[in-house]
Amino acid sequence: MEEEKRVEVRREERTDSGMVGATFIKYAAYLIIFFGVLWFLISYVFPMF
């Protein structure tokens, strides 16, 4: 009278290209802002010293 239950667990690996693209754009924006601030410091702030 013992019932055997089998549960199939299926893991799907998501390779969502939309998420990859959004992440790339986000970090590219971070880099552009970082280099913009760096350029501003080198061009305007450092020559004052």
Regarding pTM above 0.85, the answer is: no
Give the position of tokens 């693209």.
21
Report the C-alpha gap between 34 and 30 in whole angstroms.
Answer: 6
At residue 17, the pLDDT reads: 84
Across 12-29, average pLDDT = 87
C-alpha R_g of the chain: 26
Specify the DSSP class assigned to residue 41: I
- Residue 8 has a pLDDT of 84
